[in-house]
Structures are given as C-alpha cells and as structure tokens.
Amino acid sequence: MKFLFAIALATAHGLLIRLLFGSASGLMEIMSVTFLFFVPSIIGFLTVILMPARKITTGAEAFFTPWLTSLALLVITILLNMEGAICWLMAFPIFAIAAGVGGIVAYWLRKPKSNDPNANNWQKPNTLNVSLVFIVPLLLGSIEGEKALTPKQMVIEKAVVLNAPAADVWQKLISNKQLGQPADETSFAALLGFPKHVSTTLDTLRVGGTRMAYYEKGLYFKETVTKYQPERLLVLRVDANPNATPAAVMDEHILIGGKHLDILEDVYDLRPLPGGRTRLVLSSRFYINTPFNWYAGIWAHYLMTDILEGELNVLAQPAPMTR
C-alpha cells in the first residue's frame, strides 16, 4: 500500500509542477533544462524517499522504480491532453533516466552508514524540506526562462535515382497533383503521428510563385519559389503558419513554425544521368531551438529524413495512366 502511495504522491507532485510550468508559459519553459532534467530528478527522489526502506534494497531498484512514476505521468498527461504522444516519445528517455538518478540519490541518503542493518540515517521531511521540493524547481525554471534556448540550423539531404529523363521528373515536380498512393504506415514519421501528404498545387512557375502542400488533419505549408532553373533546380522558401495548424495535429513543443522547430527552405536539384535517368536530390534547411540541441537534433534528423524520403517516394511513383 505504501509502495502505491509513494508512486501516487510523486506523480501528483509531477502533475502539479507541469501545470504550474504550463500556466506560466514564457516565464517558465517546458522545453528547459530545469523541467526535463531537474524536475524528473525530484520526482524520482520523492518516489524512493517515500518508499518503505524494505522495498528499495539495491541501487538498481532505486534507479528503475521511479520509471513507474514516469510512466504514470506519461499516461495521465496524454489522457488529459496536457502532452502529445510524440513529445513524450522523444522526452521519455531523458525524463526516465533523470528520475532514476534522483532515485539513486534518495537511496544513497537512506542507506545506513553504519554496520547496523537496522540503522536509518534519513530523517522524516519537515515542512521546510517539503516546501523546497516545490519551490526550487519553480525558482530555477523562472531563472532559466528562455535564456538557455539556442537556435541551430540543420540541413538534411536525401537523393533518389529515377528511371525517367529530367524533363519528365521536372514536369511531375511542378504539376498540381493529388497523392493517391497510401503512405508507408511503418515509416518513422507515420509512427510519430505526422500527417500524410495528400496534395500539392503550384499557381505559377516564377520567382514569387506559390506552391501549397496539403496534409491530413488540416495541416498545410505555403511555399514560395525563390529560385528555379527549368529541368534543373527548384528552391522553395517554406512559410509555416503555426496559428493555422489545428491543435490536434501537432504538439505545441514540436509545432513546425513554432518557437522550437521551423522548416526554412526546400531545394530540389535534378541531375541528368546516362541512359535517360535522373538523380533527384531533395534537401531541407530547418532550425531547432532548445537548450539541448544535441538531443533534439537526433530526433529532428530522423523525422526530417523520413519526411524527405516520403516526398521522394511520391515523385518516384509512376505517373497515372490516362485514357
């Protein structure tokens, strides 16, 4: 019973901190070192320190038991629409490890320092201790704010060789098209819940021309032609409007065009090959803006690579037959 009580109390603490950070957006950031590293450490610490000593007898138990609290927070925040499944999938490895570290610290403090196995050096928390558990994360979050956010530009490039001359590939690239072929349901982007590309329209092929890329669930991107060479090069500036993206489509923390992620430019480069083939290279320039770009960049790389591969697969599909 005390085991479940410890999990429940630590989970309630995590939910309260999440609500306070969410309600003070701009003052305290969810995408912050404080929230993704320090807060789960506190949650893990509380989980273990509230456990009966006989329940946590090894360092491994102290490390992995807080993962139960982390899982409880994952399920509850998704059910309450406080966080999206995509965000949790990306954040959970860091969150769980940080919680485990907090559990190890609690275990070390509780571990008897004498040879007496019945000794317990941990004193029951008083009002001041409990207050600090709530106040310190909020204080650190307020101090950090957006100061730790660091913009970083990245470029992802994918290529495919098509059994078609450059003229045919170019025509397919600039044509208005409805995408009838189903997307790969096992792709990384699909597993993360990224909407499928359904159609593309181009009003006119000129600098300043507008191409619209429409996706499922009301997601769309406006793309402006900034440079082109017929049958050779097409450069598009991507203008994502986060205010026009339905809330149910993408989590606010990975919203394209939002504070932490934006696609800036797409480039289609066509190179004729012997035998009437064409090498098509699609590159995308985008930026991420987090305090831990070393980690966010890994996820961004895989997600953007998968999206580019999906676009190239569409262009590699044979043209529909006409009567």
Calpha distance 154→205 (Å, rounded): 27
Among 68-77, 176-185, 243-252, the range with the most confident prediction by mean pLDDT is: 68-77
Verify that 223 and 257 share a domain, yes or no. yes
Please identify, among 87, 109, 144, the residue that sits at the C-terminal boundary of a domain: 144
CB 288 within 8 A of CB 260: yes
Residue 297 in any domain: the answer is: yes
Higher pLDDT, 66 or 257: 66
Residue 322 in any domain: the answer is: no
N- to C-terminal Cα separation, the chain: 72
Element (H, E) at 270: strand 261-273
Verify that 128 and 13 share a domain, yes or no. yes
Query: Number of structural domains, the chain?
Result: 2
Average pLDDT over residues 238-267: 79
Verify that 134 and 154 share a domain, yes or no. no
Please identify, among 144, 176, 197, the residue that sits at the C-terminal boundary of a domain: 144
Verify that 311 and 204 share a domain, yes or no. yes
Verify that 165 and 135 share a domain, yes or no. no
Higher pLDDT, 297 or 258: 297
CA distances from 307 to 176, 188, 238, 241, 261 (A): 19, 9, 14, 18, 15
Residue 89 in any domain: the answer is: yes
Q: What is the pLDDT of residues 116-128, one digit of tens each?
A: 555 555 555 555 5
Calpha distance 266→262 (Å, rounded): 12
Average pLDDT over all residues of the chain: 85
Verify that 105 and 165 share a domain, yes or no. no
Verify that 160 and 302 share a domain, yes or no. yes
Residue 55 in any domain: the answer is: yes
Residue 280 in any domain: the answer is: yes
CB 284 within 8 A of CB 155: yes
* 31: containing domain: 2-144
Verify that 256 and 308 share a domain, yes or no. yes
Q: What is the pLDDT of residues 298-321, one digit of tens each?
A: 988 888 888 898 888 888 876 543
Calpha distance 210→170 (Å, rounded): 17
Verify that 84 and 8 share a domain, yes or no. yes
Any idea which of 33-47, 104-118, 123-137, 282-296 has the lowest mean pLDDT?
A: 123-137
